[in-house]
Amino acid sequence: MLVEMKVFGLAIDPLSNTPIVILKDLGEKKAIPIWIGLFEASAIASVLEKISFARPMTHDLLHEVMKALDTRIVKIVINDLRNNTFFALIHVIQGGREKTIDSRPSDAIALALRAEAPIFVDEKVIEQSTHIDISTQAEDLGKYSREKLKEVLETLSPEAFGKYKM
């Protein structure tokens, strides 16, 4: 079963300085953190902060190319989690036919935000993500146990994130 989620915010892992995108379900009962790259975090942040650039950035360009080719993003689905790596599919319609495109979740999220397309996460991925070995994502969580980190992520308010600094 798919669970619709939204981008709750971006954060920086203070131990590894790696960006994290936080997804929460619409009822804000479930959350998953996904460690992402700096460029993808920038692409997500620019949409969240409504920043426009004089020239199109990569995700903006791809979105414009898709529109020019009469291709519409219907939804994205984060559909798998293997070896602490998330996998996603971008569902598009072109010429009346639905197609899926393999993608990294961060790129799929950046495109979904631009297309105002819904973001879904497979329920099995949400369940698996609560068992992620966080230590492989961040070198040392210090005082935070998995349970404590999960609790912190699920109860963060939007004000706790602040603005994403580049």
Express each pLDDT in 80-112 by its tens digit: 999 989 999 999 999 999 999 999 999 999 999
Whether the per-residue pLDDT at 151 is higher than 80: the answer is no
Residues constituting the chain: 166
- The predicted pLDDT at position 122 comes to 97
- Minimum mean pLDDT among 61-65, 102-106, 136-140, 145-149: which range? 136-140
The per-residue pLDDT for 157 is: 52
**Count of structural domains, the chain:** 1
Q: HEC profile for the chain?
A: CEEEEEEEEEEECCCCCCEEEEEEECCCCCEEEEECCHHHHHHHHHHHCCCCCCCCCHHHHHHHHHHHCCEEEEEEEEEEEECCEEEEEEEEEECCEEEEEEECHHHHHHHHHHHCCCEEEEHHHHHHHCCCCHHHCCCCCCCCCHHHHHHHHHHCCHHHHCCCCC
Residue 98 lies in a domain: yes
Task: Give me the percent of the chain exceeding a pLDDT of 70.
Answer: 78
Q: List, for residues 64-79, the tens digit of each pLDDT value.
A: 999 999 999 999 999 9
Q: Which CATH number is 13's domain given? A: 3.10.690.10
Residue 160 lies in a domain: no
Does 120 map to a domain?
yes
Its pTM surpasses 0.85:
no
Q: CB neighbours (10 Å) of residue 102?
A: 10
pLDDT band at 163 (very low <50, low <70, confident <90, very high): very low
* 163 lies in some domain: no
Q: Is residue 162 part of a domain?
A: no
Q: Is residue 161 part of a domain?
A: no
Q: What angle do CA 27, 32, 36 make, to 5 degrees?
A: 135
Residues 123-139: what's their mean pLDDT? Answer: 67
pLDDT of 84: 87
What's the mean pLDDT when you consider all of the chain? 84
Question: What average pLDDT score do residues 101-124 get?
Answer: 97
**Segments forming the whole domain that contains residue 19:** 2-153
| Within-domain flag for 12 | yes
Q: Give a yes or no: residue 131 inside a domain.
A: yes
Q: Looking at the predicted structure, is the pLDDT value of residue 149 above 60?
A: no
**What's the pLDDT band for 52 if we cut at 50, 70, 90?**
confident
